[in-house]
Amino acid sequence: MLFAVLIAKPDTLDPVLAESLRTAWGGGSPRWLSLGQALEFPVMDVPGNFRAVWQDLQSMGVDLNLVPAEGRRKRMLLADMDSTMIGQECIDELADLAGVGAHVAAITARAMNGELDFEAALKERVGLLKGLPESVIGRVLAERITYTPGGRELIATMHANGGHAALVSGGFTAFTSAVAAHLGFDEHRANTLLAEGGALTGQVAMPILGRQAKVDALDEISARLGIGAGDVLAVGDGANDLGMLHRAGMGVALHAKPSVAAQCEIRVNHGDLTALLFLQGYAVEEFVAA
């Protein structure tokens, strides 16, 4: 059995629309997870017109996903950082302060869409930061980083239900350490920017944490916890996240790059990080405030 889950921005999900879809698909009893925002109902199989309906609902600002009923609530969260748990790409913010923002942002966009080799693109971008004062990292964290809504509630709720949360990023430990602490992650992994004499050297410590390293993190952490990949919820937006999104029991493409979203079954384009709780069947009344 599957659950059809409809998620929209607060107070925008039309009950009539939801009921007409449930009726058309012969779905079971509906349940509001958050009135006017998220609703679910069971279906026995994937409807033949699912993709067409999904596309129609996207134009209405509604995310529609089908998730298996069995093992729905996950025991581990594995999350990307840039443009997922936070609203920015940290390297782009550093580059902006180094005077090469537009150039680096263009490379980042292509790398995240899978058009460039991740490792080569990272080395090129970091090279352009050579000489930037290391203190700029603190300035970016204080002045430029915003958190995606729902992140702390997501982690706190999963913690309250026995879950573990790990942040894995192709970015840098100087940022993941602060972001992980702010949001309540249990651990974090990322690349290390090298500095000397208070300035960035334009190099990153090897080996570089890329797509495979995120898959390795999923396998290593889940094994340590004594759980399987099926117990993991992974979320990300870029091409370097695809490995972990496909390996996890529930892989969610959150506001993902077009080529990434096209390769993922579960997509969230309109909701925030609380959508990951709705997908697991948590009602808003079960959310834990961080």
| Per-residue model confidence (pLDDT) at position 289 | 87
List, by residue number, the catalytic residues.
80, 82
CB 88 within 8 A of CB 61: no
Tokens of 124: 């090129």
Residue given tokens 């974090």 in the structure block: 188
Q: Which residue has the tokens 């998730």?
A: 67
Q: Running along the chain, 290 residues long, what does each successive block of 10 average in pLDDT?
A: 97 97 97 98 97 97 98 98 97 94 93 90 95 96 97 98 97 97 98 97 94 96 98 97 98 95 97 98 94
Q: Does the domain spanning 1-70 belong to CATH 3.30.70?
A: yes
Which class is 73-87+146-290 in CATH?
alpha beta
How does pLDDT run across 213-272, given as a tens digit for each residue?
Answer: 999 999 999 999 999 999 999 999 999 999 999 999 999 999 999 899 999 999 999 999
pLDDT value at residue 248: 98
Residue 154 contacts residue 143 (beta carbons within 8 Å): no
**Which stretches within 4-135 are classed as H helix?**
15-24, 50-58, 90-97, 101-112, 118-127
If phi over 0 gives left and psi between -120 and 50 gives alpha, with beta otherwise, what is residue 152?
alpha
Q: Please, where in the chain does CATH 3.30.70 lie?
A: 1-70
Please list the residue range(s) of the chain that carry CATH number 3.40.50.1000: 73-87+146-290
